[in-house]
Amino acid sequence: MAKDLTKSLLDTESSNSLDVSNQIIRMPYIRQLLAHDWVWSIALWTAILAIGLTVGMNIYTKTNNLVIAALCAATGGFVYSYIPLFILMRFIMKLNGAPFHIGDRVQILTGSHRGKIESVYEIWKDHKEVRLDLGQQAKNEVKDVFSFLQIRRIMSDSKETDLVSTST
């Protein structure tokens, strides 16, 4: 039930549609937002500071030692915020269709190529990134690299109806 609720929240269609090759691609606002790297940076640092301050204040009131409180705050803030955000990022990657394979058709969720549907031609598993067929110039300049968070797999034609509908 929780999985269905999460999927329905992330798949809520927005009014932000892009016209690509006579097709309207509906991209949910939440998925667009989570595709940006700055969102994850802000979330990580905010969580680190909030948890770190809470842990540090609790340790300081018990020990009255500022050095120990600062060390516990830094360690606690990082560990207790990084792990849940890491798990959430992995969940979003899976929801977007990861792991990807060469030849997969994917939709770009962010950047100047947002909304385009392209094929994967190379995978960098260590970095959780793929290279998409955006043309020779993008390939030569290595501007065709996208993280697993920035793309989503497009289903086969029979299952694509929730992602693509023809324009009138």
Instruction: Walk along the chain (168 residues) in steps of 10 and give the mean pLDDT of each run.
Output: 46 43 59 77 83 85 86 82 85 89 90 88 90 90 90 63 41
Sheet with 17-20: strands ordered across: 17-20, 23-26, 164-166
pLDDT at position 148:
92
pLDDT at position 27:
64
pTM above threshold 0.85: no
SS3 for 8-65, per residue? HHHCCCCCCEEEECCEEEECCHHHHHHCCHHHHHHHHHHHHHHHHHHHHHHHHHHHCC
pLDDT at position 167:
39
**Cα–Cα distance for residue pair 103/133, rounded to 1 Å:** 10
pLDDT at position 25:
59
pLDDT at position 160:
44
Q: Do β-strands 151-153 and 164-166 pair in parallel, antiparallel, or remain unpaired?
A: unpaired
pLDDT at position 155:
62
pLDDT at position 37:
76
Task: Give residues with Cβ within 8 angstroms of 161, minimum separation 6.
Answer: none
**Cα–Cα distance for residue pair 31/9, rounded to 1 Å:** 10
SS3 for 137-158, per residue? HHHHCCCCEEECCCEEECCCHH
Question: What 3-state DSSP class applies to 84?
Answer: helix
Closest alpha carbon to 56 in 68, 41, 38: 68
pLDDT at position 157:
41
Largest Cα–Cα distance in the chain? 69
